[in-house]
Structure 1
Amino acid sequence: MSFNAIILEKDEINGFSHSLKTITKQQLLQQQGDTLVQIHYSSINYKDALALTNKSPVVRQWPMVPGIDGVGTVIESSSDRYQAGDTVILNGWGCGETHWGCLAQYAYLKSDWLIPLPQNITPYQSMIIGTAGYTAALCVKRIVDFGIKPQSGTVLVTGASGGVGSVAVALLSKLGYQVTASTGKLTDKEYLHKLGASNIIDSKQLKQAGKPLQKEQWSAVVDVVGSHTLANVCAQTQYGGIVACCGLAQGMDFPATVAPFILRGVTLAGIDSVMASYDNRIAAWNLLAQYLDDKILAHIGNTIRLDECVDTAHNMIAGKTKGRFVVDVNK
């Protein structure tokens, strides 16, 4: 058996390269795993874009098949958890970093990393959601579990035109929250309003250094940007509010003070989707299955081929994309 996959390579002589290659089953099974999955769809997340463009040291073993997301059919498994014919989802777990991922027609994975495809979500829709949407659900769940209610006030979503932001806006709106979307692409206003945003602001006003404490505006925040943006939204969060932090699009730094936390009781909650527990994954996906309808998913999703992944990644890093990109690995 042989199949197509994107291969990332790097060495001292040739440097970094990417190519679409034919891989054999024997090569694939050299990876550590217990479940062979025929991949139907993958997706491009920000981390995938960083790997595909070599803009950040995401890949830690070479050569590497990128792709932190995948949905497909189990072909064979030595685990009792899944049987041939089951449809499963992968999100994270070091795939595309230290283990061959899902920008390929087959993947050899560990059963502990997989969850069953939820009811009411098709395989294609699951990759419109992908890690970005699943991370958004973890953020929203954290806000809800913290006790923030729709009547508590407006919720801010930064990076709202991106994958995480798009799903966060849609989920929060469906749950009854008033959502303000922050974006650097004001041409996306119609797109964001259709997702449920009631107000849209220019992200430029959050990206510069600001005062340690600012006017209280948000009952909660989903932030994917980091750096000065994260510092500013913490300074603008209402007394007793929460900021769910899950990204670093602007930067990994956090140039802030302790003022919002000790004077307003603001909580900064870090959201990790890569190693989240099985129960948290199931809860997040159930939230998505319950509240994201077909129209919203169709509005967010775009479909590309394997040979379009690198160009899409460059556009994503440059901030020229919106929504989610599903990869049909069989085209």
Structure 2
Amino acid sequence: MPGDGGVVRLLDVVSVVPCADGFRFVRGAESLRVRGPLGPLADAVDRLTSGVPERVEGAPVVARVAAALAERGWLTADAPGYGVGEPVERQVGYLGMFGADPVAMQRRLERASVAVLGVGGVGAIVAQHLVGAGVRDLWLIDHDTVAPHNLNRQFVYRAADVGSPKADRAAAALTSTAPGARVRAVRAAVREPGDLDVLPADLDLLVVAADTPPDLPDRVWAWARGRGVPVCGAAVGLETGYWGPLLDPRRGHCLPCFEARRTSLLAPADVEVGAALTEPTRFSFGPVNTAVSAFLAYEVVRFLASGTCSIVNARRHLVFPSGRTEDLDGVACQCPPCGDG
């Protein structure tokens, strides 16, 4: 069981459903059915919900159920009530979907240092979710100013912000939402890897949400690889959008190898068209921007809280007209030992 001899209890995200011959514990798509006399089982449920000693003595039914739940990671040593009265109050329990220590995960979020490159249709929404999730050290990098056409989908801005630097106005808006957050605005374009040296060396994640110039991912990767900083991003087109991969140089991930894998799966015509279309579409639709941004934010928060997520060395695609999703998994780095890629 979790903990060090203290009290453990059922994760908040685990529901208990009575059955004719016992109880079913449900966590997302997973379930555990426990059969037996209803009286002792009901007592076990009550005690596990409120908390029991990690080493259960003299209560065999409680001990049996607790052992089965602990095997699945559905018990926590956290005291209930962390964050009560705070914006994260309803989130802490949800983090139990990612592991058995929601409070520790929430605290990791609050200690995380994250940078968002590009505070536009994707980056502005991701930044809002990061601050809402409890991230308190955020860097926003953007060289652009707020334009009227941004207001249909970049909800961090207001009409009065038109003409002002995006990074400045986004930082001000997010700080007003979370007064305890340190949101730093950097008004700059990334023309070469060294332009990112303004960021701290111990950055936990760099989110790339800008789409120009076309070789921006290569510039960012060159900087991140040399400093061991994880990187992820997303982009939205007319009919499709994607989020990921999240590449961590410390885990042997590699952007050139991921791109080689991706292009190897494309038809020759698709490679040719992709090489020709280097400019992002000038059209933009709020709902699809929001959808892809929310999926990316989900994975980013999960990664910062638990250390993993489904886009680690993987990319997820969403086809908007059909709602169909497609997955692309990367490979281990195939570059020469020098790591020059």
- TM-score over 0.5 for the alignment? no
Q: Which has more helix, going by share of residues?
A: 2
Q: Who wins on radius of gyration, i.e. which is larger?
A: 2
Normalising by structure 1, we get a TM-score of 0.28
Q: Which has more strand, going by share of residues?
A: 1
Normalising by structure 2, we get a TM-score of 0.27
Bigger RCO of structures 1 and 2 (CA < 8 A, at least 6 apart): 1
